[in-house]
A and B are shown apart, each in its own frame.
Chain A
């Protein structure tokens, strides 16, 4: 993650999606998957390729919570902060996660992982974790830190 993408790699992503209807989100997803974020230079090149203004592309990138405009150096733990996890002690767990992870893991809120029957829940990459208690949370943080 966080490595710079070659212009040819971005070109390849754009070509892969260009024929689709509304190709911008699929392109942005692929760019982020490839290099971990969507930088200013990427915005400029995507805008040019799709015949959009930089403001349009930039506006889309900034609108969606998923898209990062700068690399994230730390591993990311997405912790559900929505009501169903709140009802199962999620807020106390979130405070603990902040304390335990300081500087080693980036704890980000996510509003619902659809695991509301087995909360509190979290996601690291595409891996999901449920029924978190303080011990399980600590272990998870130590695993990814």
Chain B
């Protein structure tokens, strides 16, 4: 009898390795797959039978014998592909999640792998760019810049050589889709990078992965070695960050790759024109590049068929924090925040009322339930003074203190500022001090006015999003939760 257990870091952190070891000790054949993304059920164990795979979770090693006797019915989840959490999704980028072994070239090829690259090679750079532009794909790292325009700029730029740089410095709290993709379907990212290389005329690509992701680093390095002959002459090398949040900013990342301090560069010049080692460089997030194989295999129009307005395609949304059904939910743009938090997420894990959600990482705004009618798309969030960022949604229950969250936003910015520009370097420190005065009840109105003024300066005067967006969590906390600043 075969058991399927994920080797994704989230499953492993919940004890999946111990479950797998126990199962093998009981003489069972264990297949380690990627994770479906239903993380509240991890470690999830699927048993294979004539009717397919039946899931049980969360499974403890001590549950296995009961499971084999058919006495673990209270943890029975059924067929995962038919789970309500799954059937509402549009899994394009994460089509293989839970279904394949991440480092199996056979599994990858058997599930449509390399079809995009094959077509890309057949149609050539101009047609690839046309397809990617038609897909409406925008930067999934948070900036939302149209991918087709970026790639066309790199294509047209002149340089001794060109590069593809994959930004896998996924530092935003509440996000883990890059990690899951790299650990679960690394060949998909490699295929996307190879297509990007063809499109812009680059011969070499780097994947810059944060050091906090040892599992993703190991999988990507192994996958890059295995796939090397299939993507040649394009070459991919994995590089490891060193614990600097700001290196998720593209110019800072390029400096880090070059072996420098991860300080932000002023733009222009854009990396597309003058990027890594001064050469034209396409810097794209993991999810942007991983969306490309599907687009090339099925056509740009098909991808654009999902979504709404200027937000086309699907977004791998990550439900995190204090939420009952935490995990990965890939869907076309357009679901409302309320649908995501309540209908799909099931409300808080603690069972207490939802107080706020932070969308888009530490630089994203806090929204109260009264604003949960906002549809998930780039423009709708911008119109409400927020951002979807990398699409992480962190849920907080009513025990959260939003004044402390505002203080944390400044504290985080101060700790992670690269120090290049004054509004961020000094503003974050002064902001934290001023919020602390507000919390201590010192001259509240005047100090809050000062914070607001400081936020304006940081927003418009900072070189990058770290200083520029820290005002989002701070000001949204002040605007939507004024009572928390009056205690």
Contact = CB atoms under 8 A, between A and B. Distances in A.
Given A88-B321, A117-B40, A112 B262 contact: no
Contacts of A24: 259-260
A22 B412 contact: no
Given A87-B396, A111-B412, A130 B259 contact: no
A87 B259 contact: no
B115 interface: no
A131 B322 CA distance: 12
A131 B14 CA distance: 7
A117 B10 contact: yes
A83 B10 contact: no
A87 B39 CA distance: 16
Contact of B243 (A66, A84, A131): A66
A89 B36 CA distance: 26
B243 A22 contact: no
Given A25-B239, A65-B243, A111-B416, A118 B39 contact: yes
A112 B171 contact: yes
B326 interface: yes
Contacts of B318: 116-117
Contact of B320 (A23, A60, A117): A117
A144 B178 CA distance: 30
Q: Taking chain B's interface residues, is the majority helix, strand, or loop, or is none over half, making it mixed?
A: mixed
B245 interface: yes
Interface residues of A, number: 41
B42 A83 contact: no
Most buried by A among B321, B328, B358: B321
- The DSSP consensus for interface residues of chain A is loop
Contacts of B243: 64-66, 110
Nearest to A88: B322
A25 B256 CA distance: 8
Contacts of B244: 63-65
Contact of A59 (B171, B261, B322, B415): B261
10 contacts: A25-B240, A25-B256, A64-B241, A82-B362, A84-B392, A87-B320, A114-B179, A116-B176, A121-B13, A131-B14
Interface of A: 20-26, 28-29, 56, 59-60, 63-67, 82-88, 110-119, 121, 123, 126, 128-131
Interface of B: 9-10, 12-14, 39-40, 42, 170-176, 178-179, 211-216, 237, 239-245, 256-263, 277, 318-323, 326-328, 349, 358, 362, 392, 394-397, 400, 405, 408, 412, 415-416, 418
Given A84-B392, A117-B327, A119-B320, 17 more contacts: A20-B237, A22-B259, A26-B239, A56-B260, A65-B244, A66-B211, A84-B321, A84-B394, A87-B322, A111-B173, A112-B212, A114-B170, A116-B173, A117-B176, A118-B14, A128-B13, A131-B14
